[in-house]
Amino acid sequence: MTGYRAPRSKFALAAILNIALFIAYLLYNNTSSGQTSTHDKLLRELQELHQMILRDQRQLEFTIAEQKQLLDKVASKQKSSPQPLNSLEKESRLLHSFQASEELLKTHDIAIPRDVPEWTEIDTAYLNTVAGFDMMAGMLKEEYTKQQKIVTKAAVDFAWISRKERVYKSLWNHVLLIYQSLDPTLRVRDKEARLLDLAQTRPEVDFFLRLEQRLFPWIQVRRRTSFSLHESLHGRGFVFCGGDRQFQTMVTSIQSLRLKLHSQLPIQVFHMGEKDLSHQRQEYIRQMTYDIEVLDITDLLDNSYLKLQGWAIKPFAILASKFEEAIFIDADAYFLRTPEALFDDPGYKATGCLFFYDRTILPGWRKGPEWIRTNLPFMSNIPQASRSFRGTTAHEQESGVVVINKARRLPALLSVCKMNSFWERDLSVYQTFYGDKETFYIGFELVQEPYAFIRNYGGVIGELKPDDDQSICGAQMHLDYQGRPLWWNSGLVKNKNNEDMRDLYFGYWMSGGGNQTNREFLIKNDEMKEIMAYELELDSVDDLPPPEEPLDPVWDYLRGCMSGWKVEALPEDEAERANSYVVMDKISRKVDSFITQHMEVDPKGDWNSIL
């Protein structure tokens, strides 16, 4: 280690200023008495300057001595136990400590988040300082009440919300350990009461409870903290939600699981009261098959904050469900093979969450990437490499099926729900994104939690396009991680988007692409071209080689058809199963019609013919 050298420049400056002060004093003694007041003022200012210089000099001397002491200590340690540089580097902690295997990255896109620091004793001590008190006051400020009407987007600041949610996540992990250390024989209600008692003496517990109430006030129905919800989770199951309008397709989807795929997992169906799903339809669902519950979500969460409607109910249904591991299924989604297999997906097992990509449509969309850049100071590797950032699509995620381990990822799920809360969705999120779709992966990004996408974009399942055996028309289809068709959504009709409600024939499928290495970097996005030219050490983007990989297939959204990829025939058993759902849907349609006419319907009667 080289010798230590104290900086000399500030000592020289101090000497010069002291000389100037002495000269000024001599001049003062030689001046006439008529200028006494001016000189007195000058003298006082010079004396104050002198005191300041002496103060700074003493501080500098103290700092230099402190630094020298620290450096000597480090040098002594290195001398006594020398370590090579590469060993010191290994001791450094990665900012992105979550890692994925090379084998996993062949089939999945894995979000590698920035680590949110763990809560420490130093953080708790900080809360007892003036600065810490000021920080808490800012984060605990109530932006609006449930009765208040918000009319400006400025009231919903997701950059600020994301900061609070990351602090909340760090606190949640810390306080959870405190909660779990309480007497296990206590009832949940008593354990929560005990935690509230601890908040009187532990500032971090008090801060956590207040912050949770500010961020997620709607969770406090029949509970006082999120920990009682976390502790109540158990088992695996399917989650559905829907009202009268979704009743027909939801009944078919549920019965397809029970009667054709023989799925045994329990099912919970959520609605938003009798005005959403009529009492007769609720009773029909309860009785039509085994191990199924029908629940009003407004009994479980405070809807006076949420004002739930439409798509927004989906993440809250997942949250309110009793399952530790949940598979959410849209009312118009159907599986070719049992969905329980998703719990064994390597991406899900690694991250605790599994998502599916949407189809590639509507290129050139900029609002979403701009929102993300504005509101996410920290991002994983996923957003900036996504299609939407490259301008090739408007929709990144399809939320028709979501698989999540709530015990592992509860703070992230709360973040997703926050994006679908009333003012947040109406004034910001749904003004930018198409409903709830993107809120799932962006919610995870807000709190920097890992997640997995199966590396394949939304494809198509259905029938050959008339006069064109290289195109398939039908519903949006998704593959499993092994590249096999697994599920589709958009129902069982030709094309609900242009109101072509004829029954669809399921015989063929086509992948949506998405397995290319370069993902069209060279074609759609000038920024990506610059990056690639730099990495290849080229002088200009004009020197880039033409892409060697094939383009992703093209989706004709209005016609519901896809072309540009290999046409595949469904295996015979899967084609038979898929087309049997069309037959089942006719029963659901008849049941829905009878209920609309207030006629009595046997919940089990017509389904016996399907067995």
554 phi and psi angles, rounded to 5 deg: -105, 130
Q: Which of 235-239, 400-404, 494-498 has the lowest mean pLDDT?
A: 494-498
pLDDT digits (tens, 9 = 90+) for 488-503: 998 999 887 777 789 9
Position 2 scores a pLDDT of 43
pLDDT digits (tens, 9 = 90+) for 350-363: 999 999 999 999 88
Contact assessment for residue 157 and residue 208, using Cβ atoms and an 8 Å cutoff:
no
Contact assessment for residue 523 and residue 551, using Cβ atoms and an 8 Å cutoff:
yes
pLDDT band at residue 312, thresholds of 50, 70 and 90? very high
Average pLDDT in the 407-421 region?
Answer: 98
3-state per-residue secondary structure call for 182-226? CCCCCCHHHHHHHHHHHCCCCHHHHHHHHHHHHHCHHHCCCCCCH
pLDDT digits (tens, 9 = 90+) for 359-401: 999 888 899 999 999 999 999 999 988 988 888 889 999 999 9
- pTM of this prediction exceeds 0.85: no
Top-confidence residue, 62 or 425: 425
Position 6 scores a pLDDT of 45
pLDDT digits (tens, 9 = 90+) for 195-217: 999 999 999 999 999 999 999 99
Q: Which CATH class is domain 232-453+579-605?
A: alpha beta
CA separation for the pair 547, 528 (Å, rounded): 13
Position 333 scores a pLDDT of 98
Tokens 């500030």 belong to which residue? Answer: 10
pLDDT digits (tens, 9 = 90+) for 81-119: 555 545 545 556 789 999 999 999 999 999 999 999 999
Position 74 scores a pLDDT of 46
Nearby residues of 603 by Cβ (< 8 Å), 6 or more positions away: 283, 284, 286, 287, 288
Contact assessment for residue 131 and residue 139, using Cβ atoms and an 8 Å cutoff:
no
Position 392 scores a pLDDT of 84
Kind of pairing between the strands at 397-405 and 353-357: antiparallel
- Asked whether residue 57 carries a pLDDT value surpassing 80, the answer given is no
Residue boundaries of the structural domains of the chain: 9-80, 121-227, 232-453+579-605, 459-575
Strands (E), 428-489: 452-454, 459-465, 468-479, 485-489
Tell me what percent of the residues of the chain surpass a pLDDT of 90: 68
Position 1 scores a pLDDT of 44
pLDDT digits (tens, 9 = 90+) for 61-71: 554 555 455 44
Top-confidence residue, 307 or 20: 307
